[in-house]
Structure 1
Amino acid sequence: MKKITSVMDTTIPTHQPHGESSSPRSFRKSLGITALVVFGLAYMVPLAVFTTYGLVTRMTMGHLPTAYAITLAAMLLTAYSYGRMVQAHPYSGSVYSYTRKTFGACFGFMAGWTLLLDYIFLPLLSYLLIGIYMSEYFPTVPAAAWILGSIALVTFLNLIGIESITRVNWILIVAQAVFLVVFIALSLSHLNGQAEPVSLLTPIYDEHFSFPLVMSGAAVLCLSFLGFDAVSTMAEETPNPKRQIPVAIMLVTLIGGLLFIIAAYFGQLVFPEWTTLTDADSASLDVMRRIGGEGLVTFFTATYVAGCFASAMVSQASVSRVLFAMGRDGALPRAFGKLVSKKRVPATAIMLISLLSLIALFVTLDTVANMISFGALFAFSAVNLAAIKHYLIDRKLRGARHLLSYGALPALGFLSTIWLWSSLSGMTFLIGFAWMCLGFICLLSATRMFRVQLPELNMSE
């Protein structure tokens, strides 16, 4: 088999003033642990619990907190594997980079291609939600206008650099934290004012509990946890990524998951009548009206839309880094692997994502949510397997500690994600496998029917 090799010098000097690299082919090293955690939480959106609130509440028959707890357990195991793989390969590209280095170029391409499914759909989901909630509040303005305006502004902010996104994210994260405090306080006040006592276990387990239904809901909820995965794509923009990225990944997963469980628990306590939700897409507004009237609805809409905007910014930044890594490797056209302007941003990838986000004008919320979960769970499974192979097979680490750290924990992460993956709907698998088939066709084209290998990229830190 012939071999095409492309070697690019992306060496990053050990010491640079102000944490920057002098090479125009490398990213600026500007993100510390705090900025990474903010980045990840902005990607996840602390208010993301209300994104699929109505959809999953109906699916689980009123047991949303339990579904979130199951998902959090699986995501913590997978986040651990992400941290181990960042230590092994601290480069942009996330799942694509890890699987390529571990299983080879072809498997890496397919994993990266499948990962693109949830990365492409996540900013699209944010734009769709902005359109849904803003058109609910301003019915005279069509949802399409809000979607188009958001896409334009997010694209502009991504083109002027990651530092601008970090500053905006701080403001939006604080606003969401304030809302959650107000929401919990009003929920407690509402519960204390009720004449009849409320069963505190109802949102977790009651006579309507069905484990298969809760698992189906937990599978959909994986999209809420994509922030920790996004943190891994910032490895080349972080000083000492082998230490800081794993810590940030675990913090983002744990903090986000606990916020989701708490918000879901109080939401279902104050509005247990899940069968009476008016509209699954905007069901959270029913909860807000019950405990705070139109004033809380206004506060929620403003904060939630701001959170969706923050998620759109960081998700577009994240997927552009994956496209950058694949373009730099030659798995995609080389134009994707180039950084432009003094801010060193992958402009071609950013513009492509903004164009693909226009699909938000034509799709439904449940379709987007399921497709994101399909891509995410496939990627999570691949990372867990990569951690096992890299440390136990390739590096041949032995001993009880290594078998636990690099065998048992990633294996549990793999089994839990496969279990959740199998709980998705049949239509999700139909569309997901169609996307993978398209990726396989692209792989055949890039390798000339496997007669040549995909280009290799040599990178040293």
Structure 2
Amino acid sequence: MTDQPSRLRGDLGLVSVVAFGVAYMAPAVVTSIFGVIAVTSKGAAPTAYVIATGAMLLTGLSYAKMAKVHPSSGSVYTYARKELDSRVGFLAGWALLLDYLFLPMVAWLLQAIYLHAQFPAVAEWAWLVINVVLATVINVLGLKVADRINRVLLLGVTAILVVLAVLCVHYGLGHGGDAAAGHAFWNSATSISAVTAAAAVAAYAFLGFDAVSTLSEEVRDPRRTIPRAIILTVLTGGGVFIAISFLMQWAHPGASFPDENSAGYLLSTTVGGKTFADVANIVGMLGGFASCVAIQASTSRLMFVMGRDGALPRRIFGRLHRKLLTPVVNVLVIGAVGLLAMNLSLADATSFINFGAFLGFTLVNLCVIAYAVRQWRSGTRHSAVRYLLLPAVGAAVDVYLITQLGGIAVELGLAWLLIGIVWLAVITKGFRRPAPELRIEAGEAEGSTGAETSEAVVPTT
């Protein structure tokens, strides 16, 4: 036995986990990138989101299947090491770590930029520090505190989006009516190539739905709760994106904007006046803060599982605070990485994140196929459509999204993978041994809630 806790606290329910996932996705982002999606789709933003939702749902279904089979906080890292190979699992976790480490940085940097724009008396770097410190303190205290704050902030974001929706309907009815509503989905300038290209961009708004799977050890009945939460997160986020983008496109038909990057703010001003637009911007920033908290929490848990397994230095990353039962060191490391944004532009910071996310999505789909093949060989038959066709289509879509990334993002992603391969060679003695893994002795059933705080562990290599 050991006094060092090795499992996270399992007491979150379905509503809390879905709220976490939706907060991670930051639903107000639909207003921030509306102009970009509308321009790329030639004035059919909601259609782009319909396609993106369908594409992400395919991968979400694969995540749900794997979360039921492997109710552990490691997400794709755990799935790949169990279904493919321990070394592939390590590289999957390493690739996802690139996404997870820099997503908080991008989220905090966005917060600082927009808050400084509205309150220029406070320096951008000061806003960055304020956001990083607050989110870090909340995550050190634990997910129950983060859950309460996320729910409050999500209510605020939901309220402002509802008001925006009503204002867009009122404005749309007075400027074009039903005809303009139909054109919001398709018009003479729209094409299949335009909406699919826009869907590739819109898919970035879904980054983070997979973070739900990192909470498997902190929920009640993870085999049932996590799969349902993943699907509900995708559907909820997609539903919000489709509905709000439709109403905004209805209020502003076409794809002509003075500045596509600020089109959401300009449209809010048009339909509700400057005061409403300013309030909406503040509430959106609060929703963004909830996203920052969720991103930092999920990243710290991925690092904890990799540290607990020995894939990262265990004494540093694989430890929980004895009383709070949170990976405090990991939370602090992520906060420190976020502060590096003071020396980066938004474009540079953003370029880091997408490669790892879509590579991870691809591997999750492949894990489902590998699981089904292994089950068939042992005599258990699964639906070929659900366990072969849909995951194969999901993997193809994710590979396509990788091809849509810029050259810098791909180069940085490959460089990060190369570093991971070198580290993997070190810990596996030149790839001759499996990547390290931690086994938990009997006394913790595979479907455990994770409420135990101390059990015997046997590290293996």
TM-score, scaled relative to structure 2: 0.90
**Inter-CA distance 397–269: structure 2 relative to 1 (3 Å threshold):** farther
Secondary structure at 1:453's aligned position in 2?
Answer: coil
Instruction: Report the CA distance between 1:368 and its aligned residue.
Output: 4.4
> After the TM superposition, which residues 342-381 of structure 1 pair with which residues of structure 2 at under 5 Å, given as runs?
342-369=323-350, 371-381=352-362
Match of 2:450 in 1: none
Match of 1:98 in 2: 79
Secondary structure at 1:30's aligned position in 2?
Answer: coil
Letter in 2 for 1:166: D
Letter in 1 for 2:264: S
Letter in 2 for 1:33: L
Match of 1:250 in 2: 231
Secondary structure at 1:28's aligned position in 2?
Answer: coil
Higher mean displacement: 104-113 or 269-278: 269-278
Indicate yes or no: 2:202 matched with 1:221: yes
User: Partners in 2 of 1:114 and 1:201 — Cα distance?
Assistant: 41
| 1:178 aligns with one of 140, 159, 162 | 159
Match of 2:112 in 1: 131
Letter in 2 for 1:61: K
Q: Root-mean-square deviation (CA), in Å?
A: 2.3
| 1:295 aligns with one of 272, 275, 279 | 275
Instruction: Answer yes or no: is the 8 Å Cα contact 1:219–1:373 preserved in 2.
Output: no
Instruction: Report the CA distance between 1:224 and its aligned residue.
Output: 1.9
Secondary structure at 1:458's aligned position in 2?
Answer: strand
| 1:187 aligns with one of 146, 157, 168 | 168
User: Partners in 1 of 2:112 and 2:281 — Cα distance?
Assistant: 11
Indicate yes or no: 2:106 matched with 1:154: no
Higher mean displacement: 251-260 or 416-425: 416-425
Higher mean displacement: 208-217 or 32-41: 208-217
Secondary structure at 1:283's aligned position in 2?
Answer: helix
Match of 1:318 in 2: 298
Secondary structure at 2:190's aligned position in 1?
Answer: coil
Higher mean displacement: 103-112 or 419-428: 419-428
Indicate yes or no: 2:309 matched with 1:329: yes
User: Partners in 2 of 1:155 and 1:168 — Cα distance?
Assistant: 13
Q: Deviations over 1:24-48 (max 9, x none)?
A: 3211111111111111111111212
Letter in 1 for 2:241: F
Indicate yes or no: 2:70 matched with 1:89: yes
Higher mean displacement: 82-91 or 64-73: 64-73
| 1:438 aligns with one of 388, 405, 419 | 419
Which 5+ residue runs of structure 1 have no aligned equivalent?
A: 1-8, 11-21
Instruction: Report the CA distance between 1:420 and its aligned residue.
Output: 2.4
Letter in 2 for 1:302: I
Secondary structure at 2:383's aligned position in 1?
Answer: helix
Q: Deviations over 1:265-301 (max 9, x none)?
A: 1222223353323361x33211111111112112211
Instruction: Answer yes or no: is the 8 Å Cα contact 2:35–2:257 preserved in 1.
Output: no
Match of 1:6 in 2: none
Match of 2:42 in 1: 61
Instruction: Report the CA distance between 1:414 and its aligned residue.
Output: 1.4
**Inter-CA distance 344–400: structure 2 relative to 1 (3 Å threshold):** closer
Match of 1:3 in 2: none
| 2:410 aligns with one of 415, 426, 429 | 429
Instruction: Answer yes or no: is the 8 Å Cα contact 2:376–2:382 preserved in 1.
Output: no
> After the TM superposition, which residues 13-52 of structure 1 pair with which residues of structure 2 at under 5 Å, given as runs?
24-52=5-33
Letter in 2 for 1:120: L
Match of 1:16 in 2: none
Instruction: Report the CA distance between 1:390 and its aligned residue.
Output: 1.1
Higher mean displacement: 191-200 or 107-116: 191-200
Instruction: Answer yes or no: is the 8 Å Cα contact 1:267–1:287 preserved in 2.
Output: yes
Letter in 2 for 1:432: G
User: Partners in 1 of 2:125 and 2:413 — Cα distance?
Assistant: 26
Letter in 1 for 2:420: G
**Inter-CA distance 96–400: structure 2 relative to 1 (3 Å threshold):** closer
Instruction: Answer yes or no: is the 8 Å Cα contact 2:4–2:320 preserved in 1.
Output: no
TM-score, scaled relative to structure 1: 0.90
Letter in 2 for 1:54: G
Instruction: Report the CA distance between 1:430 and its aligned residue.
Output: 1.9
Instruction: Answer yes or no: is the 8 Å Cα contact 2:40–2:195 preserved in 1.
Output: yes
User: Partners in 2 of 1:152 and 1:426 — Cα distance?
Assistant: 33
Q: How many residues are aligned here?
A: 441
Indicate yes or no: 2:244 matched with 1:283: no
Over the matched positions of the two proteins, sequence identity in percent amounts to: 37
Instruction: Answer yes or no: is the 8 Å Cα contact 2:96–2:357 preserved in 1.
Output: yes
**Inter-CA distance 279–306: structure 2 relative to 1 (3 Å threshold):** same
Q: Deviations over 1:361-401 (max 9, x none)?
A: 24444554454332221111100110110122255377885
Indicate yes or no: 2:286 matched with 1:306: yes
User: Partners in 2 of 1:31 and 1:120 — Cα distance?
Assistant: 24
Which 5+ residue runs of structure 2 have no aligned equivalent?
A: 447-461
